[in-house]
A and B are shown apart, each in its own frame.
Chain A
Amino acid sequence: EAQVTQNPRYLITVTGKKLTVTCSQNMNHEYMSWYRQDPGLGLRQIYYSMNVEVTDKGDVPEGYKVSRKEKRNFPLILESPSPNQTSLYFCASSFLTGGSVSPLHFGNGTRLTVT
């Protein structure tokens, strides 16, 4: 089954304790992205990647890191989480078509709470 898999689904942690949220896709997509969703603010892009070893900042990259060492995986790293990073996080992927639509496929989300 074609899917984007995020883990964990729920995570409660304390300020300053490094964490990683994993994301993996099995559709051979070139493009992968992380979004955070907060009430009233919609989906805001954190980082994205158009290919292996190619990553770029989105709209709200501060406090986050990513890596793209393999095509299928795009982990999100919070080196020193803070309470303002409490949010619902989504990983998404798609083909890079250039000339036509390629819908984003989203994972089921990771609900992160930082105390």
Chain B
Amino acid sequence: GQSLEQPSEVTAVEGAIVQINCTYQTSGFYGLSWYQQHDGGAPTFLSYNALDGLEETGRFSSFLSRSDSYGYLLLQELQMKDSASYFCAVRVSGYSTLTFGKGTMLLVSP
């Protein structure tokens, strides 16, 4: 089976930087994705890493180390609107489905 571990909750203040980690144990690995979900709404895609290294998209960056079965989502210049749940998800093959972690709730305070 597939297993993804991420912290259940992270807190930070506006303007700060926060890192949300994700470790995975899967039977195969094709890529690590991150999704954001506000308060029970539709999850939305943030980023994808198939190869080792850092991918940057504006204030958000995502990192992957395949040898360590580890990735993280880095959020910079935090804003109140970044308060949400963040899910990492693994695809184990090119045509397989996504398996999601349990999610990390990020609380940003003033």
Residues of A with Cβ closer than 8 Å to B? 4, 33, 35, 37, 40-45, 48, 50, 58-59, 88, 90, 92, 96-101, 103-109, 111
B97 touching A58, Cβ below 8 Å? yes
Secondary structure of the B contact surface, majority rule = loop
B41 touching A101, Cβ below 8 Å? no
Residues in chain A near residue B72, CB distance under 8 A: none
CA distance A59 to B15 in the complex (A): 39
Residues in chain A near residue B42, CB distance under 8 A: 4, 90, 106-109
Partner of B99, one of A40, A45, A100: A45
Residues of B with Cβ closer than 8 Å to A? 8, 31, 33, 35, 40-45, 48, 50, 87, 94-95, 97-103
Residues in chain A near residue B31, CB distance under 8 A: 101
Partner of B41, one of A92, A98, A109: A109
